[in-house]
Amino acid sequence: MSIPANQVILPASDYNLAATLDSGQVFRWQSAGDVWTGILHGQWVRLRPVPYGIQAETLQAVADWRWLQHFLQLEVDMAAICRSFPRDEPMTRAVAACRGLRLLRQDPWECLASFILSSTKQIVQIRQIVQRLCEDFGDPLPVPVGEPAAFSFPRPEKIAATTEARLRACKMGFRAPYLLAAAETIAAGTISLEALRRSPRPEARLKLMELPGVGGKIADCVLLFAYGFDTAFPVDVWIARALQQLYFSKKPATEKELHAFAASYFGPHAGFAQQYLFHYIRTKLN
DNA sequence: CGCCAGGATTGAA
DNA sequence: TTCAATCATGGC
């Protein structure tokens, strides 16, 4: 705790804010140069990298910034995690190319809902869908003069109370009934996203996969990005392609073989390794 | 126009 | 248990 202020500098080293906020973990942060604006903890937030840290600014004074430190995962020893990676050429190159890339710790519902909307969509399109969802169903939030309007991410109760047709108006197509049913299940308390924090990873994964529109890949994204299960290893088309190209160039591997390899090869922080490979192949390779 | 996207579901083998 | 067809749509 400290004297309430609407601005703070949070100490950080080896933190690439741009790569982190633009690596397909989150879909609502917008950049203008090196400045990033987003909605967090129910309020408008502006972030900017500064020497030895990250400068944060809110509209109203904040006494306790722990929610932001937690989201940014500033306490994580990234160098130690990188040392746990396999010392092979692909990982070495990925780490070198994406220095300072981090994993965020997101709100489970926003993460889950966003990734239900992500299936077979490009990241640009996911951003558009999520933005429309928030405009139509979120609550308007105060922003500084001159800033574009901002909205909260709609809670499951709000989405459960609407119709598939109104969700489809957000351009989410066949994902609309999935999101609606998932919101209903969460709102009804049939599945508790809070209780999953205390569940072992395999149990939490199966619980998430009970939700309509949630298969193994999306469950792994939520386990990694919201719950912090470091061994979760989402395999999407990019990662499958990367594993194939970088580790199975001799003979084609099946989806099952790729999963088995991912689960055994990358170590106790495999999810971090996955994010480095993902960002590496999307931004640096080809 | 053709192809693709941070896939899941269903039914068949 | 694995595999293939199906779903749907904006960006390039």
- Give which of A33, A70, A69 is closest to A54, Cα–Cα: A69
pLDDT for A236-267, tens place per residue? 999 999 999 999 988 888 888 999 999 999 99
Task: Say if residues A261 and A253 touch (Cβ distance below 8 Å).
Answer: yes
The two structure tokens encoding residue A103: 């994993």
- Whether the per-residue pLDDT at A127 is higher than 70: the answer is yes
Q: Do the beta carbons of residue A95 and residue A275 sit within 8 Å?
A: no
Per-residue pLDDT tens for A46-78? 999 999 999 999 999 999 999 999 999 999 999
**Positions in chain B where some atom is under 7 Å from a protein CB:** 4-9
Our answer to whether residue A171 is catalytic in this structure is no
Burial of A4 (0-12, 13-18, 19+ CB in 10 A): exposed
- Say if CB A276 and CB A23 are below 8 A apart: no
Q: Is the distance from CB of A126 to CB of A25 less than 8 angstroms?
A: no
What amino acid is encoded at A136 in this protein? Answer: D
E strand or H helix that includes residue A47 = strand A43-50
Q: Which two tokens stand for residue A216?
A: 């193994």
Protein CA A212 to sugar C1' C5 (Å): 19
Q: Dmax of chain A from CA atoms?
A: 61
Q: Which nucleotide lies at the shortest CA–C1' distance from A256? A: C2
DSSP state of A32: E
The CA–C1' separation of A129 and B3, in angstroms, is: 21
User: So what's the pLDDT on residue A1?
Assistant: 58
The answer to whether the predicted template modeling score (pTM) of the entire model surpasses 0.85 is: yes
Q: What pLDDT does A50 receive? A: 97
Report, in ranges, which bases of strand C sit under 7 Å from a protein C-beta: 1-3, 7-12
Give A159-162 contacts, CB < 8 A, sequence gap 24+. A159/A113, A159/A133, A159/A183, A159/A187, A160/A184, A160/A186, A160/A187, A160/A188, A162/A137
By three-state DSSP, how is residue A219 classified? helix
